Structure formats: C-alpha cells, structure tokens
Amino acid sequence: MKISKIVVLTFSLLTFFLLLAQARDSSGATGVHEIPMTAKKYEYTPSSIHVKKGEHVRLLITAVDHDHGFKLPAFDIQQELRKGETTTVEFTPDKAGTFRFACSHVCGFGHRGMKAELVVEE
C-alpha cells in the first residue's frame, strides 16, 4: 500500500513539474520580449522597434556617451538614461500603430533630431 502511494505522489510531482516547464516554454522563458538598445550622440540603435500589441516589452537601453532620456508619449513613458548604465523600460502596448520616441534630456546640438519609432503590430 505504501509503495502505491509513493508511486502516485512521484507521478503527480513529475506531472506538475512537466506542466510548469511546458507553460514557461510556450510563453518564452519569461513571457517578455527583451530588446537591447543603445542611446548615443543623437541616435537610438535600433532606430525602429517592432513588437506585437499585447506583448510585454522590456527595453534594455544603455546610454553610451552621456546622459540621455527616453520619452514615448503614446504610452506615457519618460525615463532618464544615465551614462554607462543600462536602464530597463517595461510596458505592454495596448494599441497598434507607429509611435515616435525621442530623447528627453538635452544632449547637444543634435538633440532635437534624436528620434526613433516603435511599430506595434496587431
């Protein structure tokens, strides 16, 4: 009788962990679309980011040369970017379209041209 309980318990635990692993695999390890970016003298790289509506997005932005900013008005995001540091910006776009983002920290003569785009697809 004890052996059958041990077998049932072992099988139940194995099934639980297999289902948990499958759930993680189907959503991408964390369910987040991570995008590494750089901010440097008057440009963001990449200059165009493509994501899906409803997808959780994590931007990992590194300011290379000095302090910059990241402003994405369509999703009410504004973040300071410190030189040499990677700043994380997370959001879930709830509308499709093409949205401009720009530097929000005056960074020199070309500051006004430091813009890029976020493309959110259905």
- State the pTM of this model: 0.73
32-121 topology per CATH: Immunoglobulin-like (2.60.40)
User: For 54-66, how does the pLDDT look when each residue is reduced to its tens digit (9 = 90+)?
Assistant: 999 999 999 999 9
* Type of residue found at 73: P
32 touches 59 (CB < 8 A): no
Domain ranges of the chain: 1-30, 32-121
pLDDT of residue 6 exceeding 70: no
Q: In what order do the strands lie in the sheet containing 115-121?
A: 48-52, 115-121, 97-102, 68-72, 77-81
47 touches 90 (CB < 8 A): no
C-alpha dist (Å) from residue 101 to 17, 20, 45, 118: 42, 37, 12, 7
